[in-house]
Structure 1
Amino acid sequence: MGHSRKARPAGRRGQRRRAAPRRSRNTTVTTLASVVLAAATALAVAAYRNPLAATSRPAPAPSHVRHPTASTGLPEPGAVTGHASPSSSATVTHPTPTAKSSPTPIPAKGPGTFTPAQANGKRVGTGATVRRYRVEVEDGIALPAQQAAREISGILANPRSWTADGIDSFQLTSSGPYDFTVKIATPGTVDTIGAAGLDTGGEVNCDVGEDVVVNLKRWVLGSPEFDGPLHDYHALIINHEVGHRIGHGHETCPGSGRPAPVMMQQIKGLKGCIANAWPYDNKHRYLSGPAVP
């Protein structure tokens, strides 16, 4: 069944009020997009004019940075403290030098009096000839006599040292009879002790009477001819001078590329040999060279 439509009065025909056009959904989306685009453009312009504006907020601290503990003020374990790379332009405060990290001062001449090390050691080596020795350091030298005695006794106890000859053994002592003394002295004192016929020139060591005299300059600085560790050069000094003490004379290089004999005056040049601090090798073979007249 259909619906009927009422007739409208004739006087109102043509006078119907036109409704305002509806805004479509597409038009609304377009307008919003325009607003967003305008805002983004404004931000981009601002960032271009001031590049820092977009990054003005401070970045959070990295998680690996360690801060001092509140209780002690000291860095936590594992924190890097007080060290700068060589290329750093910051002022670096160095730690107070210690006896291990700083060279011992070398006075030109000391008083000529000595302090013996109060140290005793066990006999080292199996040789029937026991050579007892003591260690003394000249007064006024910043080198403890006990420290020197420990190092020297360790050198003579090394299996590559003179105990390998099967004849000699050694024992550190601070009392009782002894066969010789190892003295560490200033260059001027070494010259004074060796003045009876030895030309030490403030540079080298000597063996005089009952004394093996070590020049402090050589003990601290080593030798430009010896490129090994300083302790090895100490071994060369002791082995060379004690070698004289037990009857060995000077030797020279046996051939290019071979170890320099410990009885060679290596400080005067290696003559093609390789610097060496020990009279014997690891297989107890004597590292010899031609005798020097």
Structure 2
Amino acid sequence: MARRRRVRRRRAVFTGAVIAVAAVAAFLHVSPPWQDTGATVAAGQDTVPASPEAGTVPEAPASPEAAVSPGPSKSPVSSPGAEESVDPDSVPESGPGTFTVARGGVSSEGGGSRYRVEVEDGSGVDPDSAAEDVAEILADPRGWSKDGTRTFRQVDDGSAGLVIRIGTPKTTDRLCGRYGLDTRGEVNCRGGKDVMVNLARWQLGSPTFDGPAAEYRALIINHEVGHWLGHGHETCPGPGRPAPAMMQQIKGLKGCTSNAWPYDADGRYLGGPSVP
């Protein structure tokens, strides 16, 4: 009998511990509801509502990557950092509209343009891994950091002047629509300080881009951050030449070759005629 009482006491203690751990986990991972009024991110906050901040004035006219749908891409494309391709059917069309802020790579020191990376909950993309990809793209000498003329620093609070969000197609449409942009479930956009990355494009690439999804991710970031920096759209400078990063390559290459970077390895700008 004494042995049975000891066993019951152990089970009671174990059950109480499990309940306590579950309660703490639920408290830490519950996302706040999406709000229409906009919100800023407080330091230490894990999830934020997906809406532009009130009173944001775009640095340049808000611009979607494309105004027409390129059609669905059903061929798996290699995902960076993974040996297996991504199944298009595994990419969700919609999500809860709440985002988790990336913590990996955050720095509290140094200068440069401050940016924040957020990933929609339930998207299947790890926020810290996405932030690592973004950091590598922004630091690449072929990108907007050419010759150290501009630097970027990742933060996780409201001090960010640039917010890069990866969201499901329907969430992307909803948030881009707040700037009057029609992304039609297919493309990305930039409005004010917000860059919205369509999850399907991030995971699968583009049917018109000759390269893996890893390279197309670089084009997404360079194109939309280029808009944030004040660059407008450009078009193909000539047959066989690299398409400008500021070209809407998802609409077609017009004789150019796929290219994800604003500059080449020698520091030459890979531009083209401006699009009115």
Please, what TM-score do these two structures have when normalized by structure 2? 0.66
Residue 135 (structure 2) pairs with residue 153 (structure 1): yes
CA contact (8 A) 1:119 1:173 kept: no
- Corresponding position of 1:118: 103
Which of 139, 145, 170 is the matching residue for 2:121? 139
Which of 203, 217, 238 is the matching residue for 2:186? 203
- Corresponding position of 1:277: 260
Higher relative contact order by CA 8 Å / sep ≥ 6: 1 or 2?
2
Query: What is the SS of the residue equivalent to 2:172?
Result: helix
- Name the amino acid aligned to 1:253: C
Deviations 1:240-282 (A, max 9, x none): 0000011100000000000000000000000000000000000
Residue 205 (structure 2) pairs with residue 241 (structure 1): no
- Corresponding position of 2:170: 188
CA contact (8 A) 2:116 2:162 kept: yes
Cα 1:288/1:108, change in 2 over 3 Å = same
Query: What is the SS of the residue equivalent to 1:191?
Result: helix
Q: Which is higher, the Rg of structure 1 or of structure 2?
A: 1
- Name the amino acid aligned to 1:225: T
Cα 1:276/1:102, change in 2 over 3 Å = closer
- Corresponding position of 2:92: 107
Query: What is the SS of the residue equivalent to 1:194?
Result: helix
- Corresponding position of 1:228: 211
Which 4+ residue blocks in structure 1 deviate beyond 4 angstroms? none
| Alpha-carbon shift at residue 228 of structure 1 (Å) | 1.1
| Alpha-carbon shift at residue 176 of structure 1 (Å) | 5.8
Q: State how far apart, in whole Å, the 2-side matches of 1:194 and 1:176 are.
A: 20
| Unaligned 5+ runs, structure 2 | 1-80
Query: What is the SS of the residue equivalent to 2:138?
Result: helix
Q: State how far apart, in whole Å, the 1-side matches of 2:201 and 2:145 are.
A: 24
Identity of aligned residues (%): 58
Instruction: Name the Cα RMSD after superposition.
Output: 2.1
- Name the amino acid aligned to 1:199: D
Please, what TM-score do these two structures have when normalized by structure 1? 0.62
Q: State how far apart, in whole Å, the 2-side matches of 1:272 and 1:149 are.
A: 33
- Corresponding position of 2:49: none
